[in-house]
Structure 1
Amino acid sequence: MIHLAKRVIRQTLNDKRSIMMILVAPLLILTLIYFLLGDSDYVPTVGVNQGAIPESLTTALEEQDLVIADLTDNEVQQAEKYLNDHQGIDAIMESSQDSGMTITMYEPSSKGAKAVNEIQKAVASLNPSAQFTMKYVYGTQEQSTFDSLGYVFLALFSFFLVFIISGMALVRERSGGTLERLLMTPSKRGEVILGYTAGYGVFAILQALLIVLYSIFVLQLSSAGNIGWILLTMVLLAVTAVSFGATISIFSTSELQVVQMIPFTIIPQVFFSGLIPLDLIPYHLGNLSYIMPIYYGAAAIKGVMVYGNGFMEIWGYLAGLITFAILLFLINTRALKKFRQM
């Protein structure tokens, strides 16, 4: 038993990827969580018509941790339209003797919640028993967490599962000698990569279709837009995941090494998929989302499902996924020659 334990320890110490996953990956992920979920210095912006509310309320709002945007009476009354055109405003507050205090937000979010919290503190300092009515341009206060974040899970599950399957399968193909024999034929490296991508892409597309149809028609996940655009986004995301898995497999010699890359390649993307508003992330770390494929897929799906967007609103995200797929194809084609000497 002792000899076996010593052999395992020696093998692990000689495997740099295992050491990185055991010692470095937890610290990296915890540090990332610290930055993403720690205290944010974000200051919400609240729109009010200062001429229509008591001066004491204006003073109380100014004492809170928020920015006040002075709006006209017409802009406040058409709060939903104004928020749709000016997404830099987190909430609009309207006070009237008939309906009381009304707070309108773009959608349920941590930014809106922070704005409401500051407004409530200001009002409570003047009238602790004041009541509020919450309104949203998109979504409702009563919607479940699954309804509000379902688009994120669609993107994550599709990308992650396809990545695992394609990455491990390609490593197995190479370790079994299939890839080497294939490259001895007149087939070009680009054709080999395209062949594998197309082959696994078929199952990735089937999975994407199944996930979307099951979520919407069985689990009743609401969608404000055309389901066709969701399917197109999921298909592009799945194809990108196949190419991403191929990239990781080329630099791995076993299925274990593919798994070892997950903490460095997949888990960080989870935090930038829409679970956390990017402008709440400190030190401008939200900009890292632009180098992560899942962000583009989740953003496009959210645009369709939550906002009812069409092609003209999501084409940039679709172009991002296509760009990633092309870039990964070029990397994979080049890597076959450079790292495997084929």
Structure 2
Amino acid sequence: MMHLAKRVIRQTINDKRSLMMILVAPLLILTLVYLLLGDSDYVPTVGIEKEALPDPLITALEEQDVKLKNLTSDEVKEAKSYLNDHENVDAILSFSQDEKMEITLYEPSTKGANAASEIQEAMTSLNPSAGIEMAYVYGDQDQSTFDSLGYVFLALFSFFLVFIISGMALVRERSGGTLERLLMTPIKRSEVILGYTIGYGVFAIVQAILIVLYSIYVLQLSSAGNIGWILLTMVLLAGTAVLFGATISVFASSELQVVQMIPFTIIPQVFFSGLIPLDLIPYGLGNLSYIMPIYYGAAAIKGVMVYGDGFLEIWPYILGLFIFAFVLFLINTQALKKFRKL
């Protein structure tokens, strides 16, 4: 028994990837979580019409951790339209027709919740029994967490599952000698990569259709836009995942090593997929989302499902996925040189 334990310990110590996953990966992930979920220096902006609010309320709001933006009467009346056109305003405070205070938010989110919390604290300091109504441009206060973040899980499943399958399969092809024998034929490296991508792309299409239809028609996940654009995005995201898995497989000699790279390649992308508003991430770390393919897929799916966007609104994210796929295709084509030089 002790001899077996010693052998396992020696093998693990000699495997640098295993040591990294056991000792380093948890520290890196915890550090990332600390940075992303720690105290944010973001200060919400609240739009008000100063002439329509009592001075004590304005004073109370100025004492809160918010920025006040003076709006015209027409802008306050068209609060939803204004929020839809101005991303720099998180909430609008106004009087409703029955003289109750109304807070209009863009959507249920952490940013909006912070703004509403500051407003409510100001109101409570003046009148603890004051009634406040909530209104949203998109979504509503009663929607479930699944409805709010369903688009994130669609993107994650589409990317992660295809990445695992393709990465492991390509490593198995190489370790079994299939790839080397294939490269001994006149086939080009680019054709090899395209063949794998198209092959797994067929299953990606089936997976995308199954996940989207099941989520919308069985789980009742609401979608404001055309599901065709959701399917297109998920297929592109899955195709990118195939190429990403192929890239990772170049640096792995076994299926286990593909799994060992997940904490460094996939988990960080989860935090930038839309679970946390990028504006709330301190130290400018939100900009890291632009180098992560899941961000583009999740942003496009959210645009369609939550905002009802069409191709004219989501095309930058679609273009981002195409660019990622093209770059990964070039990397994989060059990586095959170590197996055969043409």
Distance in 2 (CA, whole Å) between partners of 1:97 and 1:160 is 49
Identity %: 79
Matched, 1:132 2:132: yes
SS at match of 2:222: coil
The 5 A counterparts of 1:107-122 are: 107-122=107-122
Gaps of 5+ in 1: none
Residues 276-308 of structure 1 deviation map (CA, whole Å, 9 limit, x = unaligned): 000100000000000000000000000000000
Quote how far apart the aligned CAs of 1:250 are: 1.3
Letter in 2 for 1:240: T
Aligned to 1:219: 219
Aligned length: 341
The 5 A counterparts of 1:169-208 are: 169-208=169-208
TM-score, structure 1 as length reference: 0.98
Letter in 1 for 2:208: A
Letter in 1 for 2:239: V
Aligned to 2:72: 72
SS at match of 2:141: coil
Distance in 2 (CA, whole Å) between partners of 1:97 and 1:151 is 35
Q: Could you tell me whether the CA contact under 8 Å between 1:205 and 1:239 is conserved in 2? A: no
Aligned to 1:18: 18
SS at match of 1:279: helix
Q: Could you tell me whether the CA contact under 8 Å between 1:150 and 1:221 is conserved in 2? A: yes
Aligned to 2:323: 323
Distance in 2 (CA, whole Å) between partners of 1:275 and 1:9 is 38
Quote how far apart the aligned CAs of 1:95 are: 2.4
Aligned to 2:33: 33
Mean Cα deviation higher: 8-17 or 285-294: 8-17
Matched, 1:52 2:52: yes
Letter in 2 for 1:151: Y
Distance in 2 (CA, whole Å) between partners of 1:100 and 1:208 is 46
Consecutive aligned runs of 4 or more in structure 1 exceeding 6 Å deviation: none
Aligned to 2:334: 334
Quote how far apart the aligned CAs of 1:217 are: 1.1
Aligned to 1:309: 309
Quote how far apart the aligned CAs of 1:77 are: 0.8
Letter in 1 for 2:15: D
SS at match of 2:9: helix
SS at match of 1:7: helix
Matched, 1:245 2:245: yes
SS at match of 1:272: helix
**Cα distance change, pair 75–176 in 1 and its aligned pair in 2 (3 A):** same
Aligned to 1:89: 89
Aligned to 1:143: 143
Distance in 2 (CA, whole Å) between partners of 1:55 and 1:219 is 48
Quote how far apart the aligned CAs of 1:40 are: 1.2
Quote how far apart the aligned CAs of 1:9 are: 1.1
Aligned to 2:156: 156
SS at match of 2:126: coil
Distance in 2 (CA, whole Å) between partners of 1:244 and 1:11 is 29
Quote how far apart the aligned CAs of 1:341 are: 5.3
SS at match of 2:92: strand
Distance in 2 (CA, whole Å) between partners of 1:99 and 1:297 is 43
**Cα distance change, pair 54–9 in 1 and its aligned pair in 2 (3 A):** same
Aligned to 1:62: 62
Distance in 2 (CA, whole Å) between partners of 1:99 and 1:156 is 45
Quote how far apart the aligned CAs of 1:2 are: 1.3
Distance in 2 (CA, whole Å) between partners of 1:244 and 1:114 is 37
TM-score, structure 2 as length reference: 0.98
